[in-house]
Amino acid sequence: MILPVIMAGGTGSRLWPMSRELYPKQFLRLYGENSMLQETVTRLEGLETSAPLVICNEEHRFLVAEQLREINQLSNNIILEPVGRNTAPAITLAALSAVKHGGDPLLLVLAADHVIENQVAFHQAVENAISYADQGKLVTFGIVATGPETGYGYIQRGSELRLGTDSAFKVQRFVEKPNLPTALQYLESGEYYWNSGMFLFRAQRFLDEMAQFRPDILASCKQSFDKAELDAQQDFIRVDKTSFLACPDESVDYAVMEKTTDAVVIPLDAGWNDVGSWSALWEVNDKNTHGNALNGDVFTHNTSNCYIHTEQKLVAAIGVENLVIIDTKDAVLVIDKSQVQDVKKVVEFLKTNDRSEHRIHRESYRPWGRNDKVVSSPRYHVNRLTVKPGGVFSQQMHHHRAEHWVILSGTAKVTLDGNTYLLTENQSTFIPIGAQHMLENPGKIPLELLEIQSGSYLGDDDIIRTKDHYGRC
Mean residue pLDDT across the chain: 94
Q: How far is CA 22 from CA 11, 51, 462, in A?
A: 8, 25, 20
Please report the sign of the dihedral spanned by the C-alpha atoms of residue 210, residue 212, residue 216, residue 219.
positive
Distance CA 21, CA 362 (A): 13
Q: For residue 90, is pLDDT > 90?
A: yes
Query: ∠ at Cα 6 (5, 11), nearest 5°?
Result: 150
Q: How far apart are CA 290 and CA 322, in angstroms?
A: 11
- What is the model's pLDDT at position 101? 80
> Phi-psi bin for 390: left (phi > 0), alpha (psi -120 to 50), beta?
left
Residue 103 has pLDDT above 90, yes or no: no
What percentage of the chain carries pLDDT values higher than 90? 87
Give the model confidence (pLDDT) of 54-72 as tens digits: 999 988 998 999 899 999 9
Angle at 326 between CA 13 and CA 352, to 5 degrees: 40
For 227-263, how does the pLDDT look when each residue is reduced to its tens digit (9 = 90+)? Answer: 988 875 667 999 999 999 999 999 999 999 999 999 9
Q: Does residue 265 contact residue 142 with C-beta atoms inside 8 Å?
A: yes
3-state secondary structure of 233: coil
Rg (CA), the chain: 24
Name the DSSP class of 20: B
Q: What is the mean pLDDT of residues 23-41?
A: 93
CA 152 to CA 162: how far, in whole Å?
A: 27
Strands (E), 304-376: 307-310, 315-318, 323-327, 332-336, 363-366, 369-376
State pLDDT tens for residues 112-162. 999 999 999 999 999 999 999 999 999 999 999 999 988 899 999 999 998
Could you tell me the pTM of the whole model? Answer: 0.90
C-alpha 366/C-alpha 60 separation (Å) is 10
**Per residue in 183-219, pLDDT tens?**
999 999 999 999 999 999 999 999 999 999 999 999 9
Return contacts of 231-234, CB within 8 angstroms, 24+ apart.
Answer: 231/471, 232/76, 233/471, 234/61, 234/62, 234/65, 234/470, 234/471
Sorted by where each starts, the structural domains of the chain and their CATH numbers stand as 2-273 (3.90.550.10), 278-346 (no CATH), 363-467 (2.60.120.10)
Cα–Cα distance between 233 and 431 in angstroms, integer? 29
Q: What's the pLDDT tens digit per position in 150-184?
A: 889 999 999 999 887 778 999 999 999 999 999 99
Residue 457 makes CB contacts below 8 A (sequence gap 6+) with 399, 400, 401
CA–chain centroid gap for 322, Å, is 28
**Rounded Cα distance, 294 and 339, in Å:** 19
Residue 222 is predicted with a pLDDT of 96
Return the pLDDT at 234. 62
Given this model, what pLDDT does residue 232 score?
56
Model pLDDT, residue 170 = 96
* DSSP label at residue 145: P
Q: How sure is the predictor about 76, in pLDDT bands with cuts at 50, 70 and 90?
A: confident
Q: According to the model, what pLDDT value does residue 458 have?
A: 94
